[in-house]
């Protein structure tokens, strides 16, 4: 094992075991084989990281006084934002990424307000889209305003777009040609990577927290590609009476059990097929694990890793889902 790290994902490079992470033929190489394959052939190799290493990294970030950018995917907002904030006493900017996948009609101010109402202390809350290069200049200004040293850490759950964001900042603001590895699969970045933007700013990429209860861990690679939206989501609204039902591919069943006529809007990737049933007397996906929700006015049911269902009125809703995947309710985001 050398002490040289892969420039794409931060893993320690080694030329001893092909089957272990960080393998290179030649220790002079800058990219591990996994990053090389991903970059050049779009070939994925799934790696499952333990979150212990991630927590160690968070702890060491917490021991610095450096600014942290906490990146979140707007479609997959984590439940544990407050807990993570408590782990990191650093100055922190909340960066809400992938605005491009939300319908254009969704107002940025409303999203910011939603997060402000959580009463978590952030220096700023910024909505961006790396994909569309949206608000990146504003973010850069806020980094400059709030940085406490050269070093700025970029943290957040896996797939939030941390490495993609850093690549964009490199491209927009520096001469550096280093490129971090990005992919739609979880655990792309494996260790911290330092990227010098200029004399005043070094960005530090970190591996993301893997959410063991996300649907991404329990579907095929093909389904995984369908699940992560690449384009603006076209919300699908269904007016349901009680005892009517919707299914999403072969992964989720939604039964409206009790209540007045109600509106269900699905915010999920456009590539996923949905089907409506005029009654609940069908067996599709009934073998999945059932959770019943007593919905209040204006709440979402979030399906971890997939998206969410906005339900306007109160009522009883049953969700059938892989038993390992989490679902929960929250005040409507939109």
* CA distances from residue 180 to 101, 117, 189, 250, 280 in whole angstroms, order as listed: 22, 34, 8, 34, 48
From the list 72, 135, 187, 191, which residue makes contact with ligand GTP (rule: CB under 6 A)? 187
Return the one option of ligand GTP, Mg ion, none that residue 131 interacts with (CB less than 5 to 8 A, by type).
ligand GTP
Return the one option of ligand GTP, Mg ion, none that residue 193 interacts with (CB less than 5 to 8 A, by type).
none
Minimum distance, C-beta of residue 99 to Mg ion, in the bound complex (Å): 19
Binding of Mg ion by 164 (CB under 5 A): no
Tokens of 159: 């797939």
- Long-range contacts for 132-138 (Cβ within 8 Å, ≥24 apart)? 132/99, 132/100, 133/168, 133/172, 134/99, 134/100, 135/99, 136/168, 136/169, 136/172, 137/172
From the list 135, 167, 187, 188, which residue makes contact with Mg ion (rule: CB under 5 A)? 188
Binding of Mg ion by 163 (CB under 5 A): yes
Rounded-to-integer distance, Cα 232 and Cα 230, Å? 7
Binding of ligand GTP by 211 (CB under 6 A): no
Binding of ligand GTP by 182 (CB under 6 A): yes
Binding of Mg ion by 76 (CB under 5 A): no
Using alpha carbons, select from 85, 82, 81, 59 the residue that is nearest to residue 72.
Answer: 81
Minimum distance, C-beta of residue 187 to ligand GTP, in the bound complex (Å): 5
Rounded-to-integer distance, Cα 86 and Cα 70, Å? 13
Q: How many residues bind ligand GTP (CB under 6 A)?
A: 24
- The enclosing H or E element of 151 equals strand 151-155
Task: Give the residue with the Cβ less far from Mg ion, 74 or 246.
Answer: 74
Residues 261-320 close enough to bind ligand GTP by CB under 6 A: none
Binding of ligand GTP by 160 (CB under 6 A): yes
Rounded-to-integer distance, Cα 186 and Cα 219, Å? 12
Using the contact rule CB under 6 A, the part of the chain among 21-29, 128-136, 291-299, 302-310 near ligand GTP is 128-136
Rounded-to-integer distance, Cα 181 and Cα 196, Å? 16
Which positions lie near Mg ion, rule CB under 5 A?
162-163, 188-189
């Amino acid at each position: 094992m050398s002490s040289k790290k892969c420039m794409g994902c931060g893993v320690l490079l080694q030329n001893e075991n092909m089957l272990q992470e960080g393998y290179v033929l030649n220790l002079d190489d800058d990219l591990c084989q996994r990053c090389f394959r991903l970059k050049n052939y779009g070939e994925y190799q799934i790696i499952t990281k333990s979150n212990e290493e991630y927590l160690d990294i968070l702890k060491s970030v917490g021991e610095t006084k450096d600014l942290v950018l906490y990146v979140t995917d707007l479609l997959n907002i984590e439940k544990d934002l407050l807990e993570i904030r408590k782990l990191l006493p650093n100055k922190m900017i909340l960066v809400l990424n992938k605005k491009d996948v939300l319908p254009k009609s969704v107002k940025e101010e409303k999203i910011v307000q939603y997060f402000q109402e959580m009463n978590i202390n952030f220096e700023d809350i910024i909505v961006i889209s790396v994909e569309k290069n949206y608000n990146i200049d504003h973010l850069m200004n806020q980094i400059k305003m709030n940085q406490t040293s050269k070093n700025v850490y970029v943290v957040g759950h896996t797939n939030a777009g941390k490495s993609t964001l850093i690549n964009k900042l490199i491209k927009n603001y520096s001469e550096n040609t280093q490129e971090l590895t990005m992919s739609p699969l979880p655990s792309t970045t494996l260790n911290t990577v330092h990227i010098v933007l200029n004399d005043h700013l070094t960005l530090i990429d970190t591996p993301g927290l893997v959410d063991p209860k996300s649907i991404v861990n329990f579907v095929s690679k093909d389904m995984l590609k369908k699940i992560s939206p690449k384009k603006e989501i076209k919300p699908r609204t269904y007016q349901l009476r009680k005892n009517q039902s919707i299914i999403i591919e072969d992964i989720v069943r939604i039964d409206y059990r009790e209540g007045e006529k109600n509106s269900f809007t699905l915010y999920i990737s456009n590539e996923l097929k949905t089907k409506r049933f005029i009654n609940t007397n069908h067996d599709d996906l009934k073998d999945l694990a059932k959770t019943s929700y007593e919905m209040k006015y204006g709440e979402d049911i979030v399906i971890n890793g997939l998206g969410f269902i906005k339900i306007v009125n109160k009522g009883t809703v049953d969700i059938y889902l892989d038993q390992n995947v989490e679902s929960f309710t929250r005040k409507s985001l939109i």
